[in-house]
Amino acid sequence: MNGRIETYPRLDVFSESSEILLDGNRLIFSSEEKVVYLVNKPIGYLSAMSDDRGRKTLSDLVSDRIKERVFHVGRLDQDSCGLILMTNDGDLSNLVSHPASEIEKTYVVGIKGKLTDRDLEAVKGGLTLGDGFKTSPAKIRLVRSDGDFSKYAITIHEGHKREIREIFRVLNKSVSSLVRVSIGPLSISLVPSPGDIKRLSRKEIALLENGAHRKAPKKAQRKNNFGS
């Protein structure tokens, strides 16, 4: 390395400023451009990159359409659909996922029946789920009601496991459909059909980051140094 034989196996190396030869051949290092994709996950796909039971995963959905090696940020249940972020940027993933960032996610939820005014106030004030988790106050409104079927838009900023379904379970309502329609400023209109994928522009990424920077702790903040 840089003209000398290096025998220490844990030496930190900066490939940009070092000449490294192995058996006389110079090693070339390439850094992968950091990217963020917005994906409209269809029903039936796991929020995972592999599955030992042979079920369809996000990897199956994007393998021939995204050339970078990406991972998903957060998750959606197999029987839920809508927006999910995929990236190769760990800093951005941590920022978006960090509870203190309080990035709002909106879901459209279909249920049988209709919520009462008391139910709506309970969601808006925060309620205790079956596992003891106390939700933060949420936004909720009726989208439409057709006979014995209703749809509600509910906005939360937490990522508790199956939180939306568990909220409705506490209200004795079974969820028949669940679609994540926004993540922060990013709307499902960017990828309107199940299976659609969009690589986010620098401006779109900045909007997402700036929404988190206002509330995230300093250790979770990052500079906007994306190359996309």
Hey, which residues are catalytic here?
A: 77
SS3 call for 32: coil
* Structural contact between residues 122 and 134, judged by C-beta atoms closer than 8 angstroms: no
Pairwise CA distance, residues 170 & 54, whole Å: 33
**Local structure of 104: helix, strand or coil:** coil
The residues pairing with 180 across neighbouring beta strands, listed in sequence order, are: 82, 107
Ramachandran angles phi, psi of 117, nearest 5°: -60, -35
- In one-letter notation, the amino acid at residue 173 is K
Tell me the helix, strand and coil percentages in the chain, rounded to 5. 20, 25, 50
